[in-house]
Amino acid sequence: MFEQKTHLKISNFLVGTPIEIIEDKSAIVELETSEVMLADNYGLIHGGFTIGLADYAAMLAVNDPFVVLAAVDLKLVAPVKIGDKMIAYANIIKSEGKKREVSVNVLVKDKIVLTGLMTCYKLDKHVLDNTK
């Protein structure tokens, strides 16, 4: 079992459900696509949901209450369609102080649909906390 420490109020329906979290190492998150994610009449799922899934997995790999996303270098390499189940794999590949480089891959079955890197930071307090 794992303890989720970040993004506690996020909608699992929109960005996925955690399957595994290994704090400051890796995470696996799955997302079942649905009609609210459709981009068109062909059944194409909007890429923002794929990116949101990857982002959530990266946040959970760090699993710090004050983790933030700072930069992304992602490639959407294949379409996702209605009814697909996406699984995101996030692995921290580099840690330097508060900075984490996270490799992310999202797959449908055995096919990669998104791949790339996300740069995250562990802050000392919430990004919206203006107190000193």
- Phi first, then psi: give them for residue 37, nearest 5 degrees: -95, -5
Using left for φ > 0, alpha for ψ between -120 and 50, and beta otherwise, residue 2 falls in: beta
For 58-85, how does the pLDDT look when each residue is reduced to its tens digit (9 = 90+)? 999 999 999 999 999 999 999 999 999 9
Given a cut of 90, whether residue 131 has pLDDT beyond it is no
Considering only CA atoms, which of 19, 20, 28, 38 is closest in space to residue 83? 38
- Domains, in order of start, for the chain: 12-122 (3.10.129.10)
Given a cut of 70, whether residue 17 has pLDDT beyond it is yes
pTM for the whole thing?
0.95
Q: Do the bridges between strand 26-32 and strand 67-76 make them parallel or antiparallel, or are there none, so unpaired?
A: unpaired
Q: Which residues 6+ apart lie within 8 Å of 58 measured at CB?
A: 27, 69, 90, 102, 104, 118, 120
